[in-house]
C-alpha cells in the first residue's frame, strides 16, 4: 500500500485528482469506479476544472459508482445518481450512457445486482476505483459484518451510517434503511484502488485500517490484501499514526 499524507483536505483533493487525471491520460478509455460522500467533492471540482481547461478528456471514459440508496429515484436530490450528476457528470464531456449507478428503484433487486456485475465485467473491469471510508470502516456500503460480501448486493445500513449520512437529509428518519452496493469482491477486482480519507473524526478508523487485524468488522482492512492501493490521507485523519 502506498500512503500519501497531505497537509489538509485541499492538498488531498489535488493529489487524488491528479492521480485520476493521470489514469485518464494513460488510458483514455478507462473504467473508473466512483464514490459519493463529502470527501470526493473537492476531487470532482478539480476534475471538472481540468476538463474545462482541456487537460482531461472524459469522452471515452466509462464510470461505475459504488452504491445507491434503495427506494430513491434518479431525480431525487438525495440519490447518489443525482449527486454524481450534480457534482461531476453534468459538468464534464462524458457520455451519460457510459455512467452507471445501481438502480435503487429496481423491483427485482437480485436481477439488478447481477446486471450491475455484468456491466462492470463487459466494460472490461474497473481500472481505478476511488473509495471514501465510513467512520466504521465501511467501503461503498459494505458495513461491518461477519464476512466480506462478494458481489453487488443489498445491505441494511447501520445506525452509525444513518447517523453520519443524515446531514444530507432533513432528518435521520428520511435516510433510506437499505442500499445497493458493489461487494468487497467487486471492489477488490479493481486493478488500482485510490482511497481518500479526511478529518480527525476518522483517525481512529484509519489506525485500525492500517495497523489492526484484517477483518470484515472493519471492511476497509481488506484493502491491505490488494496489490495496488494508494491511500491518500490528510494530516488530521493520519494523526493517530506514528
Q: Which of 36, 152, 186, 205 binds ligand GLP (CB under 6 A)?
A: 36
d(CA 144, CA 228): 23
Could you say whether residue 165 binds ligand GLP (CB under 6 A)?
yes
Q: Is 87 a catalytic residue?
A: no
CB-side neighbour CA atoms (13 Å) of 122:
8
Rounded CA-CA distance 171/12 in Å is: 30
Q: Does 215 bind ligand GLP (CB under 6 A)?
A: no
Active site annotation includes 60: no
Q: Which of 35, 56, 70, 94 binds ligand GLP (CB under 6 A)?
A: 35
| Helix orientation angle between 9-26 and 41-52, rounded to the nearest 10 degrees | 50
What does each C-alpha distance from 158 to 135, 143, 152, 204 come to in angstroms?
A: 11, 7, 18, 18
DSSP-derived 3-state class of residue 119:
helix
User: By the 8 A CB rule, do 87 and 49 touch?
Assistant: no
68 contributes a contact to ligand GLP by CB under 6 A? no
67 sits near ligand GLP (criterion: CB under 6 A): yes
C-alpha cell at 37: 460522500
Residues in contact with ligand GLP, shown as a per-residue x/- string from 114 to 153 under the rule CB under 6 A: ------------------xxx-----xx------------
Q: In the complex with ligand GLP, which residue's Cβ is closer, 27 or 135?
A: 135
Based on the shown chain and the rule CB under 6 A, indicate whether residue 161 belongs to the binding site for ligand GLP. yes
Name the site residues for ligand GLP (rule: CB under 6 A): 35-39, 66-67, 132-134, 140-141, 161, 165
Question: Which residues participate in catalysis according to the annotation?
Answer: 67, 136, 138, 143
Amino acid at each position: 500500500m502506498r500512503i500519501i499524507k497531505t497537509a489538509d483536505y485541499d492538498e488531498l483533493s489535488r493529489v487524488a485528482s491528479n492521480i485520476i487525471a493521470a489514469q485518464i491520460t494513460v488510458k483514455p478509455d478507462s473504467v473508473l469506479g466512483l464514490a459519493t460522500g463529502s470527501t470526493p467533492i473537492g476531487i470532482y471540482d478539480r476534475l471538472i476544472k481540468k476538463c474545462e481547461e482541456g487537460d482531461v478528456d472524459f469522452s471515452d471514459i466509462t464510470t461505475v459508482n459504488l452504491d445507491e440508496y434503495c427506494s430513491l429515484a434518479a431525480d431525487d436530490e438525495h440519490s447518489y445518481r443525482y449527486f454524481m450528476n450534480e457534482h461531476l457528470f453534468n459538468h464534464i464531456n462524458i457520455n451519460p450512457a457510459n455512467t452507471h449507478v445501481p438502480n435503487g428503484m429496481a423491483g427485482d433487486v437480485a436481477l439488478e445486482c447481477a446486471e450491475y456485475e455484468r456491466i462492470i465485467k463487459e466494460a472490461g473491469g474497473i481500472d481505478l476505483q476511488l473509495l471514501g471510508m465510513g467512520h466504521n470502516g465501511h467501503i461503498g456500503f459494505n458495513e461491518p459484518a461477519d464476512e466480506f460480501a462478494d458481489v453487488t448486493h443489498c445491505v441494511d445500513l447501520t445506525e452509525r451510517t444513518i447517523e453520519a449520512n443524515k446531514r444530507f437529509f432533513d432528518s435521520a428518519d428520511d435516510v433510506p434503511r437499505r442500499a445497493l452496493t458493489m461487494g468487497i469482491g467487486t471492489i477488490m477486482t479493481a486493478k488500482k484502488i485510490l482511497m481518500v480519507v479526511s478529518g480527525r473524526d476518522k483517525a481512529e478508523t484509519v489506525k485500525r485500517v492500517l495497523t489492526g487485524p484484517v477483518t470484515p468488522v472493519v471492511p476497509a482492512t481488506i484493502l491491505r490484501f490488494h496489490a495496488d492501493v494508494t491511500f491518500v490521507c490528510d494530516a488530521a485523519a493520519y494523526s493517530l499514526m506514528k
